[in-house]
Amino acid sequence: MSTVERLVVIVLFEGVDLLDVTGPPEVFSLVRREVPETAGYRVVLAAETPRPVTTAAGVRVLPDITFDEVSAKSIDTLLVPGSVEIDSRRRVHALTDPAVVARVKELAGRSRRVASVCVGAHILAAAGLLDGKRATTHWSTAQQLAADHPAVEVDADPIFIREGDVWTGAGISACLDLSLALVADDFGEAVALRVARQLVMYLKRPSGQSQFGVPLEPVSTTRRVEDLRHHIMRNIAEPLTVADLAEYAHLSERQLTRVFKAELGMTPSAYVESARVEMARNQLESTDATLERVVSACGFGTTDTLIRAFRRRLNTTPTEYRRRFRATSG
């Protein structure tokens, strides 16, 4: 085991997401407790000034060190959290302060590895650290990341992605998964598993964050497509073939497919399946309906079709999904 303490620097700035900042230190602190013979990690919070930083949760956090002071140190891991704003239509936008971006770019050059937490990936991308790399972020801002930074290959499903010495993590609580992966990389999976047990967590989650996405959010600006989307939801239990939808929209099947691909990035059949999976997911989370009733209500036709759709889109089964995500009262 290493007897050299590893310096982890977490970047602080106004409006930062609180769990992104506090979650990883909880993971890193357990390494020394579980394996006393190792020096483990030393975590410091760095900000532009020593004044308290107000997080998005309204909790104030006191920095340990300033960016200028930490720039003289040899950094093992630079951890970059994120921040978002919600617009009047309840859409989520990741924020990137140019001053923070510049500091991250500077500190990254002195770090053995760099990792982003949640929408912190937008800061790494703005600093040019993700160009030509595959990266993930919170599912709600993945489209923004891809649009703002076409040189980045955005994959919204994985809980975390490693590209050499650059790591990116998915949404919010995934900061714990990312931190466990960093521990496993440094000290081996046996140590990471011991830490995961203390946290009552999987060392590796069975599936990605597509389980939590909402594929039915308004994404089209075309009234015809929006009308079709509402028609699909109103008639989700019906067959809804491409021919049915084309007739409803007064388009040929070929024209309908072109419109869906242009506006929603998928075929009509794929969209109908995603809508059915979303409705089934909600029913499995919030009701005691049998699989047969879910199949009927959501238009899957057969239980096998439901199971195949869940495996294809969520990498799990309906039964396993309900077991892990069923909302219980009390």
The pLDDT tens digits for 243-295 are: 999 999 989 999 999 888 887 778 999 999 989 998 998 889 888 899 999 99
Instruction: Give a three-class secondary structure readout of 97-166.
Output: CHHHHHHHHHHHCCEEEEEECCCHHHHHHHCCCCCCCEECCCHHHHHHHHHHCCCCEECCCCCEEEECCE
User: How far apart are alpha carbons 135 and 212 in whole angstroms?
Assistant: 18
- Tens of pLDDT, residue by residue over 77-118, are 999 999 999 988 778 999 999 999 999 999 999 999 999 999
pLDDT at 15 over 80: yes
What pLDDT sits at residue 221?
45
Domains, the chain: 6-205 (3.40.50.880), 223-325 (1.10.10.60)
pTM for this model (two decimals) = 0.67
Q: Are 25 and 61 in contact (CB under 8 A)?
A: no
Q: Are 285 and 274 in contact (CB under 8 A)?
A: no
pLDDT at 26 over 60: yes
**Burial label, 148 (beta-carbon count in 10 A; 0-12, 13-18, 19+):** middle
What pLDDT sits at residue 212?
47
Taking residue 1's Cβ as centre, other Cβ atoms within 10 Å add up to 12
Q: Are 168 and 160 in contact (CB under 8 A)?
A: yes
Q: Are 144 and 119 in contact (CB under 8 A)?
A: no
User: How far apart are alpha carbons 35 and 198 in whole angstroms?
Assistant: 13
HSE toward the beta carbon, residue 290, CA cutoff 13 A: 5
Q: What is the mean pLDDT of residues 36-56?
A: 96
Q: Which secondary structure element, helix H or strand E, spans residue 231, and what is its range?
A: helix 223-234
CA 257 to chain centre: 29
What pLDDT sits at residue 263?
79
